Structure 1
Amino acid sequence: MDKSAKLQTQLQTILYGQPWYGTPIYTILEAVSFEAAYQKPQGALHNIYQILTHMLAWTEEATERMQQKPAAQPLRGDWSTSGTPDEQKWLQLIASFKLANVELTQQITAFTDEQWTEDTNDSRETYTGYGATYEALITGLMQHHVYHAGQISILNTIING
């Protein structure tokens, strides 16, 4: 199996497969009502809606970087406000997150093994110490997804008791 296929499989596993750590991300999101998505428990920095918007923003930014565009903050910003609770807005956010991951998967599939070890277009040199390669970018994004999915799961449990 080539590097693209391995990374694609890993991403799909955490999104809707059977990940080793537990519940896949899309299943976690299905358990969140739109009311819960907008609630912010005491002491929480962000609500579920804001966390998912953050995940979407960085998925879109990773896709941009996969297209060799310069690294930057996400176009939609890093953290947003959630606004007034709205069921359609929540459902649209989930759909946008899924679509962004489909688009990212298409970028992953198009890469050759040689491209994965190339540096991304990131002149900031503030990466995590192991190089800003395309493989590190996608691996880091998957870690980011899992981390925030855990937060969503915990917040949903706190809100729903």
Structure 2
Amino acid sequence: MIDFANELRKAYSGDAWHGNNISTVIAVVKVGQAFAHPIPGAHSIAELVLHLSSWTEEVISRLSGNLPKEPSKGDWPAPLGQTETHWKAILTDFNRVNEDLLILVAQFSEEQWSAKLFTGPIPITTLSHFELLNGLIQHHAYHGGQIALLSKF
């Protein structure tokens, strides 16, 4: 059986197949880069990290048995400010939610990974725990690539 929790760890802070993991990508971002909008109409790095944190929290909620909904902080939360303190808080929150998710999924049994989420008389989704987590890993990689590109400006 594949160690799905380890796949998340690799995407977050390990030896990811696609290149640098998301933690490595955001660790080198300076505060001026974090809040800049070098591409008109594109999100800033800070906005992307807030978006990742928001959806990671929602995935934790769903994997914990709660019904799917819009993330409690919104799909694209706005930064509360643009200082170094604000950037550090964004990074701290990102690390916290990802560590929380790693702790949660490390406890999953093999049976839980293949189990469907939210089964009942009217299934809300046909996703399994694995499919939801795999989607989040892909989401991290996708936006990690955007952040890596934006950090070149």
Taking structure 1 as the reference length, the TM-score comes to 0.87
Which residue identity does 1:132 align to in structure 2?
L
Match of 1:22 among 19, 24, 43: 19
Superposed displacement of residue 45, structure 1 = 2.2
Tell me the number of residue pairs that the alignment of Structure 1 and Structure 2 aligns: 150
Q: Confirm or deny that 1:145 pairs with 2:140.
A: yes
Which residue pairs with 1:132 in the alignment? 127
Amino acid at match of 2:13: Y
Residue 86 of structure 2 is matched in structure 1 by 89
Q: Does 1:9 align with 2:6?
A: yes
Amino acid at match of 2:141: V
Q: Alignment RMSD, CA only?
A: 1.6
Query: Gaps (5+ residues) in structure 1?
Result: 126-130
Name the amino acid aligned to 2:17: W
CA distance in 1, matches of 2:54, 2:90: 11
Aligned pairs (5 A) from 1:3-152: 3=2, 6-121=3-118, 123-125=123-125, 131-152=126-147
Contact 2:80 2:86 in 1 (8 A): no
Alpha-carbon distance in structure 1 between the residues aligned to 2:6 and 2:127: 21
Identity %: 28
Q: 1:80 Cα shift?
A: 2.0
Using the TM superposition, give the Cα deviation of residue 44 of structure 1 relative to its aligned residue in structure 2, in angstroms. Answer: 3.7
3-state DSSP of counterpart to 1:114: helix
Structure 2: 5+ residue stretches without partners: none
TM-score for both structures, normalised by structure 2? 0.91
| Cα distance in structure 2, aligned partners of 1:32 and 1:142 | 21
Letter in 2 for 1:26: S
